[in-house]
Amino acid sequence: IKITEGLARTREQFARGLDSLFSSHGELDDAFWEELEELFIMADLGYEPSMELVERLKERARKEKVTEASGMRALLMAEVEEIFRAPRRIAAINPPEVVLMIGVNGVGKTTTIAKLAHRARMQGKKVMIAAADTFRAAAIEQLQVWAGRVGATFHAKAPGADPASVAYEAMDRAVKEGVDVLFVDTAGRLQTKVNLMEELTKIRQVLGKKHPGAPHRSILVIDATTGQNALSQTKLFKEAAGVDELILTKLDGTAKGGVAIAVAMQHHLPITFVGLGEKLEDLRPFNGEDYARALLG
């Protein structure tokens, strides 16, 4: 499915309000801005991001000398596109490329790893997946099933094993076996910030020791349906673990797709992909222009 379909429910809720505000309101007065802020809050952007977005739009309207509500749609689309223009970290990669996958249980991390591994396989790459989330036996098994399905090598140890030792062994194997991309799954239970930081720091250290420069990217997976939780999880992981990119899952069927705007605005992180379903193919590269058009166009 396309991002337009994925965002259909968010759009439905958001667009109706916007349409009537943009068409029925004349001048851009206080009442207009208040109503607009309310619509943003209702679209689950959260209170602070909604205020910030309104301030940015006021500024843009002033600069571009827009004084009528009817001119606001174009401004809003341009602003949303700009919000998604976060710089991407470009790391020089000496293969294997190592990707650290982080995020809370249930957000769709396992499925997302499978989808990314599938993409890499389709590009002809040799892929390995390491189960450094050793806490849940079922999660390890599920990852193994996905690895088999996409044709990736799988590395795991018994449940309860030291996550850093799994990462170390997998890194060793990946170098020896000439793997192109290694995805390292990490613990997803909601821990304290200190525990999370310690575990992820240790994993980073062993990866980097074995393969200088690794991990090359840390991808945080967040679930669009959780709205404001996605925002607080981003804050936690950014502080505890360092995050280079975001993948927003379950954008299909939720009315909370506006959270993408809030998270990009607050955290200045690029959203690289979105999940639009449960199947391997349901991962789309994210692009602010398509998003703005699907939501507001």
> Which positions lie near ligand GDP, rule CB under 6 A?
105-111, 188, 249-250, 252-253, 275-278, 282
Q: Transcribe 176-207 into DSSP letters.
A: HTT-SEEEEE---S---HHHHHHHHHHHHHHH
CB of 143 to ligand GDP, least distance (A): 8
Nearer to ligand GDP, 39 or 264 (CB): 264
CB of 248 to ligand GDP, least distance (A): 8
Nearer to ligand GDP, 18 or 156 (CB): 156
Cα distances (angstroms) measured from residue 297 to each of 40, 71, 292: 16, 13, 7
3-state class of 254 per DSSP?
coil
Nearer to ligand GDP, 107 or 127 (CB): 107
CB of 136 to ligand GDP, least distance (A): 8
Residues recorded for the chain: 297
Residue nearest to ligand GDP (CB): 275
CB 173 within 8 A of CB 96: no
Nearer to ligand GDP, 50 or 275 (CB): 275
CB of 250 to ligand GDP, least distance (A): 4
Nearer to ligand GDP, 7 or 276 (CB): 276
Spell out the residues 6+ positions from residue 163 whose beta carbon is closer than 8 angstroms to its own. 132, 133, 134, 186, 187, 199, 202, 203
The two tokens of residue 255 are 């009315």
Nearer to ligand GDP, 107 or 236 (CB): 107
Q: How many CB atoms sit inside 10 A of residue 70's CB?
A: 14
CB 66 within 8 A of CB 282: no
CB of 149 to ligand GDP, least distance (A): 13
CB of 82 to ligand GDP, least distance (A): 26
Q: How far apart are CA 226 and CA 186, in angstroms?
A: 20
